[in-house]
Amino acid sequence: MPLATELFQEGLIIPPLKLYSRGRMDRAVFDLILSNVRTPTSGGRPSGPDRGQRDRPVRLEEAVARFGAAKVRLYSAIIQDYTEGFLRETIKAIPDGTYAFEDFLDDDGISTGPSRSAFA
């Protein structure tokens, strides 16, 4: 089977759909997705909308408990401001000019041999 050269050769195109509403999965949307993958039972499960809440770093909660939310916010802002300033100065130090980049992939999946990628 040849590799796809355009999106429509990949199969069904599913536009962005709301998989969860008010914390509940829309089973019809989920079944539509599962009906269009090779391995619908491979163990993949969608994450609920509270996944980020459950998996956030515990250390942040520890810092808030130890130092208080106001101090954590203050020092987070200080770190972000420092990082932004450092990055802005680094970018300013780059001389004006035109820059180009070229790279090669082993192949592009369609033809054999190196595939050139150029960015300017």
pLDDT in tens, 88-119: 999 999 999 998 888 888 877 777 888 887 66
pLDDT of the residue at 51: 56
CA separation for the pair 112, 3 (Å, rounded): 12
pLDDT of the residue at 72: 95
At residue 24, φ and ψ (nearest 5 deg) are -115, 135
Radius of gyration of the chain (CA): 24
pLDDT in tens, 41-80: 765 666 655 655 665 667 888 899 999 999 999 999 999 9
Q: Tokens 């949307």 label which residue?
A: 29
- pLDDT of 27 strictly over 60: yes
pLDDT of the residue at 5: 78
At residue 97, φ and ψ (nearest 5 deg) are 160, -175
pLDDT of the residue at 110: 78
- pLDDT of 9 strictly over 60: yes
CA separation for the pair 30, 17 (Å, rounded): 10
pLDDT of the residue at 117: 76
Report which of residues 6 and 40 the model is more confident about: 6
